Amino acid sequence: MAEKEVWVVAEQEEGALNSVSLELLGKARELADTLGAQVGAVLLGHDCDELVDRLAHHGADRIYYANHENLNQYRTLPYTRIISDLVREHQPQIVIFGATYVGRDLAPRAASDLRTGLTADCTDLQIGDYTDPAGQEYKNILYQIRPAFGGNVIANIVNPEHLPQMATVREGVMKMHKPDTSRAYSVIPVQPVLTDAEEIVKIIERHRVPREVDLRKASIIVAGGAGVGSKENFELIRELADVLGASVGASRAAVDGGFIGKDHQVGQTGTTVRPRLYIACGISGAVQHRAGMQEASKIIAINSDPEAPIFKIAHYGIVGDLNQVVPMMIRAYRGEN
């Protein structure tokens, strides 16, 4: 048994690795170093040999690799069975999943099967000590940190009495570490044992709708909020983004108002971003939105309300009507009078 291992369940789709898996390996490496432990990556798929090196280069000491043609595409029952069996056999201390549509389906089913706890949509993970109300002291347990009560408080959740400690972590909240190609690692082949019960669901046909935009990779984002006023007026945001070579973002209020699609949403229930420049237009700055963009290198806020919370984190603030300010910015960037 590998004592105190920290595991990341790597997510791949038809041989393409989800970047959240590499983000989580960086955090797992930090947690494992604190514990004096090793990092394990669990990879389920078919003919994904080239992904093994990438997982090792980003922090994994051991890769548990289940290579089977029936694992090429995600299905709930086979994946849950394999993950649960591996956890029972190797007994890691911590297991982390990405809070993707796969992770949000797989993690709670595995936690239920293993009779352990799970904290969803974490924004940070730390190692610390805990003393319960009865005075029982626990050393080096996982603090699972996430916003609660609509983002008004940050909750530190612990699960000291049951292992493994499990969590899903939102995409983009952990920084991806630079790969180290000199790292030594080992591969543990996994022979999946699947019964007819796990094979009851078959994938007959798949339809994929590509994302309109991947804000996590954007270096400049121009985002609009409810203050933009309408879908038609949102063209101002698009025009400013176009002249800056930027991506278009939005607050939840703008998405809920039908101004733009959900792929553009930034915040606690959208995408977490860290661009070099973030321009917030007509965004009040609710805590849920700030949680998704406050680590931008530079933040410019445009809002007609001088008391808007967005100004508390903005490096530069412009108090004014965005319908006047944004066209001025567009003309200035184009060199027009």
> SS3 for 77-88, per residue?
HHHHHHHHHHHH
Query: Cβ distance 225 to 250 under 8 Å?
Result: yes
d(CA 76, CA 17): 18
Model confidence over 56-92: pLDDT tens digits? 999 999 999 999 888 888 889 999 999 999 999 999 9
The CB density around residue 1, as the number of other CB atoms within 10 Å, is 8
Tokens 């959740």, residue?
157
Q: What pLDDT digit, counting tens, does each position of 197-222 carry?
A: 777 777 777 777 777 788 888 999 99
| Residues 155-178, mean pLDDT to the nearest whole number | 88
Query: What contacts 24+ positions apart, CB below 8 Å, involve 256-263?
Result: 257/226, 257/231, 258/231, 259/224, 259/228, 259/230, 259/231, 259/234, 260/224, 260/231, 260/234, 261/212, 263/211, 263/212, 263/213, 263/215
**Peptide bond between residue 164 and the one before it cis (omega within 30 degrees of 0):** yes
CA angle 112, 164, 273 (to 5 degrees): 90
Cβ within 8 Å of residue 272, ≥6 positions away: 123, 170, 171, 172, 173, 216, 266, 291, 292, 293
Please tell me the pTM assigned to this model: 0.77
- Say if residue 246 is exposed, middle or buried (CB neighbours under 10 Å; 0-12, 13-18, 19+): buried
Say what the pLDDT of residue 197 is: 77
The pLDDT assigned to 149 comes to 65
Per-residue pLDDT, 13: 84
What is the CA 22 to chain-centroid distance, rounded? 11
Residue range 140-163, pLDDT digits in tens? 999 998 877 665 677 888 988 888
Position 42, amino acid: V
Q: Which residues contact residue 134 at a Cβ distance below 8 angstroms, ignoring those fewer than 6 apart?
A: none
Instruction: Please report, as a single letter, which amino acid is at residue 243.
Output: V
pLDDT per residue as tens digits for the range 123-136: 899 999 988 888 88
Q: Is the pLDDT of residue 269 over 90?
A: no
Per-residue pLDDT for 271 more than 70?
Answer: yes
